[in-house]
A and B are shown apart, each in its own frame.
Chain A
Amino acid sequence: MIDDEEFAEELARDQRVEVTMFWKGLAALAIVITVMVLRQLYFV
Chain B
Amino acid sequence: MGALAEWARLAGRAGVWTLVLVVLLGAVPLVAASYQFVLIALHRFRSHYDRCAPNYPRTAILIPAWNEEAVIGTSIDRLVALDYPPDRLRVYVVDDASTDGTPDVIGAKGVQYPGQVVHLRREQGGQGKAHTLNHGIEILLEDDWMEAMLIMDADVIYEPDSLRKMTRHLADPDVGAVTAYIKEGSRPGNYMTRFIGYEYITAQAAARRAQNVLGALACLAGGAQLHSRANLEAVGGRIDTSSLAEDTFTTFKTQLAGNRVVFDGNATVWAEEPGDILGLWKQRLRWARGNVQVSLRFKHLWFRPHDEHRLGSVSFGIFWFCLFLLPVFMIAASSGLVALFFINFPLSWATFRLLWIVNAISFAFITSYSFMIDPTTAKVAWKEGLLFPGLVSVTIILYTVFPRLFHELFRVGSGLTGIPLDGLVVRSVILFAYAWLGLCMVVAWLGKVVEHRAGGRWLSPLCVYVAGYGPLLCAVTFTSYIKEARGAEMKWDKTIKTGKVAA
Contacts and interface: CB of A to CB of B under 8 A. Distances in A.
Interface residues of B, number: 34
A13 B336 CA distance: 50
B496 interface: no
B41 interface: yes
Interface stretch (B122-130, B233-241, B272-280, B399-407): B399-407
A18 B43 contact: yes
B373 interface: yes
Given A21-B209, A21-B373, A29-B365, A11 B401 contact: no
Contacts of B365: 28-29, 31-32
Contact of A17 (B42, B266, B404): B266
B373 A24 contact: yes
B304 interface: no
The prevalent SS among residues of B at the interface is helix
Nearest to A6: B54
Nearest to A25: B41
A32 B42 CA distance: 19
A43 B84 CA distance: 57
Given A11-B168, A44-B403, A4 B54 contact: yes
Interface string B24-65: 000000000000011011111001010010100000000000
Contact of A22 (B41, B85, B265, B401): B41
Contact of A35 (B47, B265, B401): B401
B465 interface: no
Nearest to B205: A21
B266 to A, nearest CB: 4
B250 to A, nearest CB: 25
Interface class of chain A by DSSP: helix
Contacts of B361: 32, 36
B165 interface: yes
11 contacts: A10-B161, A10-B165, A11-B49, A14-B165, A18-B209, A21-B41, A25-B41, A27-B368, A32-B365, A35-B401, A43-B405
Given A31-B364, A31-B365, 15 more contacts: A1-B85, A4-B54, A11-B49, A11-B168, A14-B49, A15-B44, A15-B47, A17-B266, A18-B265, A21-B41, A22-B42, A25-B369, A27-B372, A36-B361, A43-B402
Ranked nearest first, the 3 interchain pairs of A and B with the lowest CB-CB distance are: A25-B41, A28-B369, A24-B372
Interface of B: 37-38, 40-44, 47, 49, 52, 54, 83-85, 161, 164-165, 168, 209, 264-266, 361, 364-365, 368-369, 372-373, 401-405
Interface of A: 1-2, 4, 7, 10-11, 14-15, 17-19, 21-22, 24-29, 31-32, 35-36, 39, 43-44
